[in-house]
């Protein structure tokens, strides 16, 4: 198996909340095991409250999907294939998964068929270096993170994260009475040295008795909102720091496969696309999970950004102990991803694409996002006033993060940074461009920092409209800073 010859993960009993430790197996889900026990022949279940699929009013589901490498919308129309799922495909020997199973109650790790696919995929891409790693399906990373917080966070304590962070991640944990500590960042994301200094100098008395933080929430690739991507070396340093301070890491990676081709600028040739699946995997920055010899990482993967957010399917990877606690919580909350979604994902990934086809798809997405990223960067180079705007071309994700030198505001007296940010934000709306304010993403709500940023995304609008929107934003900046057009 994937764990052969590797060490076992560390235990995290000292980190789990009372709530998580108190969870018992669901009595109803637990009874399931008697049904799969081959020693008891002919057992008739009057136990579990599973409705009979006889009354599911869905006889079959047809989906039209692309066949690698013909992925564009136009090609799918012409050469896509229709996959049909019937209600009783298993009994009829047509498939190992069907409507009668997918649409009934299932195990809280998710359907075994799709779980196997993501576990194999995780082994191909990350090959976690400890023995007892496992995956469990989730209804996306928003839910997985909410559940992880309830496993690890206690009111009155602190959590570590990037100083600008995914706002939902902070907005989920704050009402639980947990404050975020923002770790300083550079263009490669969070700084291990600042992490070390926060933890080495922690003063509980000055923090209402809160313990030294030991939970780190991080988005290593194409971070939301900064677009920063941690290099391999940066990740190794962060992992070493986690070992030094016994940190548990929540690695949230919805943008991992939106790592793009290197940015070469408008006047240089593009870098040739990956020539093989292994060249593609080698071109990805290795994950924290792939370095996790201690089992101190819970990685959250999501199909939202690479397939579709509305399917609400993702998965986590962590040690057996952590997965078991997570599943105890799933049993009494989400149960498992929607059966329809699991069925669609199975038909697409396992029965149409296989691992090779899925990697082809991910390469396709990489090249598409590269075009979009290049487009927004060219527009910025063309339209933004360099006197006040600066940026790094993002290497992953869907965000372009612009720094605004607000000190150059013409009549600064009496205006705070946040007021000037608000003025720019509204000036841009008046010109017809909606952006996100950097201040919305501050990890520490009472500390606005000294710098001003705006976040834009190149994922949504068509490329020509992105160009137009950046031109308008440039014109708004010129108006606010009284620069020549």
* Distance in Å, CB of 229 to ligand PLP, minimum: 13
User: What are the φ/ψ torsions at residue 157 (nearest 5 degrees)?
Assistant: -100, 180
Distance CA 256, CA 133 (A): 20
DSSP label at residue 409: -
> Which tokens belong to 24?
């018992």
Strands 389-391 and 314-319: unpaired
Tell me the backbone φ, ψ of residue 66, rounded to 5 degrees: -70, 150
Nearer to ligand PLP, 141 or 342 (CB): 141
One character per residue 99-138, x = contact with ligand PLP (rule: CB under 6 A): ----------------------------------------
Q: Please say which residue, 250 or 477, places its beta carbon nearer to ligand PLP.
A: 250
> How far, CA to CA in Å, does 431 sit from each of 128, 405, 421, 470, 476?
49, 20, 16, 10, 7
3-state secondary structure of 82: strand
Cβ of residue 457: shortest distance to ligand PLP, in angstroms? 10
**Shortest CB 307 distance to ligand PLP, Å:** 11
Residues 275-314, one symbol each (x = binds ligand PLP by CB under 6 A, - = not), give ---------------------------x-x----x----x
Q: Does 254 bind ligand PLP (CB under 6 A)?
A: yes
Tell me: does residue 394 bind ligand PLP (CB under 6 A): no
Nearer to ligand PLP, 293 or 365 (CB): 365
The answer to the question of residue 142 lying near ligand PLP (CB under 6 A) is: yes
Encoded one letter per residue, x for contact with ligand PLP by CB under 6 A and - for no contact, window 208-247 reads -----------x----x-----------------------
CA distances from 279 to 11, 38, 82, 86 (A): 35, 45, 31, 38
Q: 233-254 in b/e burial notation, b at 16+ Cβ within 10 A?
A: ebbebbbebbeebebbbbbbbb
Shortest distance in whole angstroms from residue 166 CB to ligand PLP: 4
Alpha-carbon distances, residue 222 vs 144, 280, 312, 402 (angstroms): 19, 17, 21, 14
* Cα–Cα distance, 117 to 476 (Å, whole number): 48
Of 140, 182, 337, 474, the one binding ligand PLP (CB under 6 A) is 140
Site string for ligand PLP, 153-192 (x = CB under 6 A): -------------x--------------------------
For binding to ligand PLP (CB under 6 A), which residues are involved? 140-142, 166, 219, 224, 252, 254, 302, 304, 309, 314
């Amino acid at each position: 198996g994937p764990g052969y010859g590797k060490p076992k993960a560390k235990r995290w009993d000292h980190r789990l909340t009372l709530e998580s430790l108190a969870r018992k197996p669901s009595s109803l889900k637990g009874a399931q095991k008697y049904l799969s026990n081959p020693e008891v022949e002919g057992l008739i279940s009057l136990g579990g409250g599973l409705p009979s699929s006889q009354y599911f009013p869905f006889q079959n589901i047809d989906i039209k999907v692309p066949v690698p490498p013909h992925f564009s919308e136009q090609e799918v129309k012409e050469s896509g294939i229709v996959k049909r799922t019937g209600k009783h495909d298993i009994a009829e020997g047509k498939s190992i998964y069907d409507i009668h199973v997918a649409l009934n109650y299932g195990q809280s790790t998710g359907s075994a068929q799709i779980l196997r696919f993501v576990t194999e995929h995780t082994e191909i891409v990350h090959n976690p270096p400890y023995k007892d790693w496992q995956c469990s399906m989730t209804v996306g990373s928003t839910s997985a993170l909410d559940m992880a917080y309830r496993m690890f966070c206690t009111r009155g304590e602190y959590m570590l994260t990037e100083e600008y962070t995914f706002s939902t991640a902070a907005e989920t944990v704050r009402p639980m009475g947990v404050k975020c500590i923002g770790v300083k960042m550079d263009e490669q994301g969070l700084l291990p040295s600042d992490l070390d200094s926060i933890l080495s100098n922690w003063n509980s008395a000055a923090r209402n008795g809160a313990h030294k933080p030991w939970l780190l929430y991080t988005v290593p690739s194409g971070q939301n909102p900064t677009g920063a991507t941690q290099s391999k070396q940066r990740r190794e340093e962060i992992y070493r720091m986690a070992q030094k301070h016994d940190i548990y890491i929540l690695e949230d990676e919805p943008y991992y496969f939106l790592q793009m081709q290197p940015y070469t600028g408008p006047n240089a040739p593009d870098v040739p696309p990956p020539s093989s699946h292994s060249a593609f995997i080698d071109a990805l920055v290795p994950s924290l999970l792939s370095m996790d010899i201690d089992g101190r990482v819970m990685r959250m993967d999501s199909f939202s950004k690479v397939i579709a957010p509305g399917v609400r399917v993702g998965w986590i990877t962590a040690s057996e102990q952590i997965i078991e606690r997570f599943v105890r919580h799933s049993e009494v909350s989400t149960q498992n991803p929607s059966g329809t979604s699991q069925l669609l994902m199975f038909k697409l990934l396992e029965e149409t694409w296989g691992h090779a086809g899925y990697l082809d798809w991910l390469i396709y997405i990489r090249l598409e996002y590269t075009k979009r990223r290049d487009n927004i960067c060219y527009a910025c180079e063309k339209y933004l006033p360099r006197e006040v705007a600066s940026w790094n071309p993002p290497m992953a994700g869907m965000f372009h993060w612009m720094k605004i030198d607000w000190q150059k505001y013409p009549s600064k007296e009496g205006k705070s940074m946040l007021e000037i940010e608000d003025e720019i934000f509204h000036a841009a709306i008046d010109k017809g461009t909606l952006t996100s304010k950097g201040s919305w993403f501050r990890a520490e709500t009472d500390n606005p920092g000294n710098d001003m940023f705006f976040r834009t995304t190149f994922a949504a609008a068509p490329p020509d409209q992105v160009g137009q929107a950046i031109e308008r934003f440039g014109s708004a900046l010129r108006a606010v800073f009284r620069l020549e057009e």
